[in-house]
Amino acid sequence: MKMYLISDNIDTYTGMRLAGVEGAVVHERAQLKEELDKVLADKEIGIVLLTEKFGREFPDIIDNVKLERKLPLIVEIPDRHGTGRKPDFITAYVNEAIGLKL
């Protein structure tokens, strides 16, 4: 299975290309939808890397793919600006998931 990157900036795309990961740079909602449709049609792609900006700006598109399909696995990655998550993201996630205070 292959990985594929959908990025909102050329720097992340370039870095992943150096690591051997194919991908595309998109900026608009329609471009993201079109690129995701292309990726979902390719059965060889098992992991789709998305920059976190897409998860924040277009959660309906991303969540729809995550909830309705087993493959490919959608992984949101930080871009060159860093992560947009709070410093206690993992602790809050565990608290929410199992109700255990850490």
Q: Which fold has domain 2-98?
A: Rossmann fold (3.40.50)
pTM of the prediction?
0.75
Domain extents in the chain? 2-98
pLDDT tier at 35, thresholds 50, 70, 90: very high
In degrees, rounded to 5, the angle at the alpha carbon of residue 6 between the alpha carbons of residues 22 and 47 is: 70
If we measure between CA atoms, which residue out of 34, 28, 31, 25 comes closest to residue 4? 25
More confident residue, 33 or 90: 33
What pLDDT, in 10s, does the model give residues 53-87? 888 888 888 888 888 888 899 998 887 666 666 66
Say how far apart CA 83 and CA 89 lie, in whole Å: 11
